[in-house]
A = this chain, B = another copy of it.
Amino acid sequence: MRMRSRSDRVKIEDVAREAGVSIMSVSRAMRGVEGVSAKKRQEILDIARRLRYSPSSVAGSLAAADSKLIGVSVPTLDDAVFGEIFAAMRASFLKAGYQTVFDTSYYEESHEEIWVERMIAWRPAGIVLSGTQHSKRTARMLRRSGIPTLEIWAHSQDPIDICVGIDHADAGYQMALKLIELGYRRPAYVGAKENYDKRAQHRFEGFRRAFKEEGSQFGCSVRMDGLLSFEGGRAGTAKLLKSARTAFDVVYFLNDHMAFGGMMEMEARGIDVPGDIGIVGFNGLRINNVLNKQITTSITPRTEMGELGARTLLARINGLAPIPSAALPVKIRLGDTTSVRGQTDQRG
């Protein structure tokens, strides 16, 4: 099994010779475009299959100056959030005849920038980026390339090209209002370093703003690096409980997984949730569907987002001028980890 040298790969010319037609007829037959009789087309297709002809997308893209490729960058695969958005987008692109390729940036603008540069070099039909936080150079390269670009996940007022997402700052703000309504006054936060996950940072800022407007002091916040998941939530909560100088009555977590980790830590320490402290997550991740004590969270419309994003990008690729930026609604789901403050705890 050695790599075939360039000469022994069967190419369009071989099929044409075998079929006794010109390479143009083969080209047309393979692509399913007009210009070959039905009979001839069938013959060509049969021969192509027999010869195991695999048309080169590289040569095809170069000649046609157009590819059916869409590049997608997600920050991480360790997070169920992007899996759902991605699955929805991918299905839509596939239906429209586009092939999706994706890669991860691990929340690093520099990784993303390198990826964008390489992706542009392949001249894809479209590019999808997660979030709205990108290096200046990334935005500049993309704009200059003229490649339709979708930013998904966070809403933005001035997208690189087009954008579909949610308003993270407002999501944090709304959640805070709800908590204030329940009677919470001393929030704490467990999340990531400010520059690591910007969307989360925006939620935090919106959250804090609501409490500030209400006149409440912000208790304490813990920033973890690296693992924005179960472990980070548990370790962050341990740190919070150990180091907090002021009291707090509710902890806002970066996402549901971290919130779950935090809940485990509190359980281990015999802290009553929500009796002693409330817990709030974000996203409405799968795990929340099986918990006996459901985490209060904001449910993000991930499938809708992926579908709308794909539709919008496809429109853009087809030369239409869709609305440049769409914001989708987020829904708060009160679970069993918060309660009306002052009442006894409720169990799920």
Give Cα A57–Cα B117 distance, bound, in whole angstroms.
11
A56 lies within 8 A of B121 (CB): yes
How many A residues have CB within 8 A of the partner chain? 66
A287 lies within 8 A of B287 (CB): yes
- How many copies, total? 2
- Among A58, A62, A90, A148, residue most surrounded by chain B Cβ atoms (within 10 Å): A58
- Among A1, A3, A54, A290, residue most surrounded by chain B Cβ atoms (within 10 Å): A290
A145 lies within 8 A of B289 (CB): no
B287 lies within 8 A of A3 (CB): no
Contact of A55 among B59, B76, B121 (CB under 8 A): B121
Q: Does A229 have its Cβ within 8 Å of any Cβ on chain B?
A: yes
> Would you give the 0/1 interface string for A71-92, flagging 1 where the beta carbon is closer than 8 Å to chain B?
1000011101011101100100
**Residues from chain B with Cβ under 8 Å of A161 in the complex:** 1
Contact status of A58 and B101, CB under 8 A, knowing A83-B78, A264-B290? no
Q: Can you list 11 A-B pairs, Cβ within 8 angstroms, ordered by A?
A: A6-B65, A55-B121, A56-B123, A57-B121, A76-B83, A78-B80, A101-B102, A231-B290, A260-B290, A264-B290, A264-B291
Interface positions of A (Cβ within 8 A of B): 1-4, 6, 52, 54-59, 61-62, 65, 67, 71, 76-78, 80, 82-84, 86-87, 90, 99-104, 106, 117-118, 120-123, 141, 143-148, 161, 229-231, 233-234, 260-261, 264-265, 267-268, 286-287, 289-292, 319
Q: Can you add 20 more A-B contacts, CB < 8 Å, to A78-B80, A78-B83?
A: A1-B143, A3-B147, A3-B148, A4-B146, A6-B65, A52-B144, A54-B120, A54-B121, A56-B62, A58-B62, A58-B122, A78-B84, A90-B103, A101-B102, A102-B103, A230-B289, A231-B289, A234-B289, A234-B290, A264-B291
